[in-house]
Structure 1
Amino acid sequence: MASLKNHKQLCKELMQRHEVLLELIGDAPFHYVDIPTHGNVGDLLIMHGTLAFFRKHGLSPKLIAPYDAYDPEWIDEGDVIVFHGGGNFGDLYPCFQQLREDIVMSHPHNRIIVLPQSLHFSSAAEQASSAEVFRSHPDVHICVRDEVSLQMAQAFSDHVYLLPDMAHQLYPLRAGNKRPSQHGLRISRVDDEGGMHAEMSDLDVDTVTDWPEFVGEREEHINLFRRGLGGFYRRGMGRAANRILVRLWIAYSGRLVKDAARLFARHEFIVTDRLHGHILACLLNRPNIVLDNSYGKNSRYVAAWTQRSELVTLEQAQTPPAQTRTTRIADAAQLAAII
């Protein structure tokens, strides 16, 4: 087997890159805004990675809230606003972008930090309009997850940082499975970001799923949290409810993350077009084949951060021979067994 780079060292380096955020937040009171209250495990991994980063460095948010149960009137002079990272910066998910723009316009004297995001606009006009809003604020700091987003973000702010996803703060993630099966797991998007991919029948995949199917009936519990937060907010009790219900939601969503980690750990390798299927596999030291999403987010991320890992294979548009792909997975699995 060829000489292999150290996956563990790469993961530690990715975690260390987030330390620039300590200087940006400083000693100011800060709000952590736009946390996910849905069953997308990728967003939950980002949230728990972000909270782990805060704990490691003795940072305690003044307030934690989802986008639809947060009132910008709660922002006091001197507060820093820290927006959740992910892939919703753009016009694919306008409700989240609208909250960011509203706060940028209404609080020109508060520092605003956007945690690592992938930027994507389907409309050039929407992109230009949003950039104009952000440019009006003198203290907006935008963290991005890939080089394409880095170039786009230059139009939004002079304070732009290339950083890996916050979920890397969870490394190493333990799931209790010492001996995985010899089969693979495929996480395939069923939403609008899904891409067109080959079947890869040469790989021994025994489980195919996506986050909505994985969450299953637990979506009812998730909806209870969401409705509870929204209901108290609409009744003018949002700030008090956030302190109680958000704490419970963080605990409950942590169980979802652990369940996802156990599912991954039961398999020898992962095939996925979910960015956080890839990142979760890396957190668990599992070999993984990364397929692209509909607009190139995954390949951009691998190119920026994880292509050095011997456990990561980026599936290009031209499918490699089955024997080559199977050999790569076998070599990576052998390495993973000794990490």
Structure 2
Amino acid sequence: MNVILKMFYKKIKFALLDFKYIFLAYIKYVVLNIDNDKTFEKIKNKRKMIVMQTPLHGNLGDQAIAYAEKKFLTENFNDIVYLEVSFEDVIKKAKNIKKSLRPGDIIFIHGGGNMGDMYLLEEQIRRFIVKFYKNTPIISFPQTISFSKSYTGNKELNKTKKIYLNNKNLLLIARESISFEEMKKHFGAKKVLFTPDIVLSLNEKSDTRREGILTCFRNDEEKALNGIFKKELINQLKKKYNKVSISDTVINKKITNDNREKELNKIWNEIKGSEVVITDRLHGMIFCAITNTPCIVFKNFNHKIICSYNDWLKDNTFINFIDTHDIKDTKQIISIVEDIRNNQNFKESGSQEKFHPLINYVENVKVN
């Protein structure tokens, strides 16, 4: 009973925080209209690609998505003005952005794994964008959709369906096959494309001396690995290898467009300097893919890792996927680490061509 009460209290707490954010943002937008930024007014006659809902928090997976989104747009479409609107500024800047829009402009929504009821505030802001800019082409960068089967999950899915289906200018992109099928089922096949996570459009490979083992484990709601197992595995690794580093793709730091690349290079250099990375994070696996780093990746609580691996990365022989149900003991993992260290003849499979459908779609957006 105590566990149920704690879960209920947690849901109420987050619901109140969500309401507080939406309410304050609404006051700023409707009543006060506090936004002295003249950026959009100055470029209203230029063609714009605006990425909205980018993060300021320290999740380096989300930050890598924002970095890749910017690079993807600026490198593939050099006749445009690129602009970024952080999650916190979406509602605040809405009026000024809308006034600046012209034919040919495109609004992009930050990609990731938050289309669902687990990160509900993210979904609520995405709904606002889809509803408020319904006369402008909107493209949601590659996402995982994951609404729970609970009463709340079904209720929130229906809210999302109502808003998304009412926007004829919306394109969704699924980053793995289960999300692709789910999105087609709920929103219609014409509204959905299928590409990898946008971070897989990056190439961060370099010749770097590699030494030791790096672990990168999560400690949140998405974890599937047993905490005791992780602790025992790290202890065994430290007994066998001289250098074992413990890292994470989440840091306690505010990250903006100004310091994003610097912080990403820190984690990428850590990964590139390791012989083997052991992780249960999707972007831990993806960072290994874009740096050509041997990797052992464990399944997480939902489908995003296993599907991303099977859809896009299984032909990269330096990435080893392990279902948590198949783990016998830590010795099994140590044995795989040894096999990887003794075999450096890896096969690599590129992902850049998988983004051609998105490039083609953007190129066909009418400018006049």
State TM-score, norm by structure 1: 0.75
Matched, 1:119 2:145: yes
2:77 to 55, 58, 62: 58
Instruction: Tell me the distance in 2 between the aligned counterparts of 1:72 and 1:322.
Output: 50
- Deviation, 1:259, is 0.6
Name whichever of 148-157 and 111-120 sits farther off.
148-157
2:187 to 127, 133, 156: 156
Instruction: Tell me the distance in 2 between the aligned counterparts of 1:32 and 1:46.
Output: 11
Q: 1:309 to 1:64 in 2, by over 3 A?
A: same
Match of residue 271 from structure 2? 264
- Deviation per residue, 1:123-181 (Å, 9 max, x gap): 1221122112101111210001111101111112432111011112221344xx62211
- Deviation, 1:264, is 1.1
Letter in 1 for 2:276: F
Matched, 1:171 2:203: yes
Letter in 2 for 1:294: F
Q: 1:290 to 1:98 in 2, by over 3 A?
A: same
Matched, 1:319 2:357: no
Letter in 1 for 2:138: I
2:114 to 88, 110, 121: 88
- Deviation per residue, 1:173-209 (Å, 9 max, x gap): 44xx62211x211111122211124444665571223
- Deviation, 1:331, is 4.9
> SS in structure 1 opposite 2:187?
coil
Instruction: Tell me the distance in 2 between the aligned counterparts of 1:264 and 1:166.
Output: 19
The size of the alignment, in residue pairs, is 277
Match of residue 31 from structure 2? none
Instruction: Tell me the distance in 1 between the aligned counterparts of 2:316 and 2:137.
Output: 35
Match of residue 217 from structure 2? 188
Instruction: Tell me the distance in 1 between the aligned counterparts of 2:108 and 2:129.
Output: 11
Match of residue 293 from structure 1? 300
The answer (yes or no) to whether the contact 1:36–1:66 under 8 Å persists in 2 is: yes
Letter in 2 for 1:169: S
Instruction: Tell me the distance in 1 between the aligned counterparts of 2:343 and 2:142.
Output: 28
Instruction: Tell me the distance in 2 between the aligned counterparts of 1:163 and 1:194.
Output: 25
> SS in structure 2 opposite 1:31?
strand
State TM-score, norm by structure 2: 0.69
> Which protein is bigger by CA-based radius of gyration?
2
Instruction: Tell me the distance in 1 between the aligned counterparts of 2:167 and 2:301.
Output: 32
Instruction: Tell me the distance in 2 between the aligned counterparts of 1:82 and 1:141.
Output: 9
Matched, 1:135 2:157: no
> SS in structure 2 opposite 1:271?
strand
> SS in structure 2 opposite 1:283?
helix
Matched, 1:48 2:67: yes
Matched, 1:99 2:125: yes
- Unmatched runs of 5 consecutive residues or more in structure 2: 1-45, 348-368
Match of residue 72 from structure 1? 94
- Deviation, 1:120, is 1.0
- Deviation per residue, 1:89-120 (Å, 9 max, x gap): 11111222112211222232211100001111
- Deviation per residue, 1:72-99 (Å, 9 max, x gap): 2212253321011111111111222112
The answer (yes or no) to whether the contact 2:60–2:264 under 8 Å persists in 1 is: yes
Q: 1:156 to 1:272 in 2, by over 3 A?
A: same
- Deviation per residue, 1:262-312 (Å, 9 max, x gap): 111221011111111111111111111111222231111101110111111
The answer (yes or no) to whether the contact 1:269–1:333 under 8 Å persists in 2 is: no
The RMSD of aligned alpha carbons is: 2.4
Match of residue 329 from structure 1? 340
Instruction: Tell me the distance in 1 between the aligned counterparts of 2:343 and 2:55.
Output: 33
- Deviation, 1:313, is 0.6
- Deviation, 1:250, is 1.9
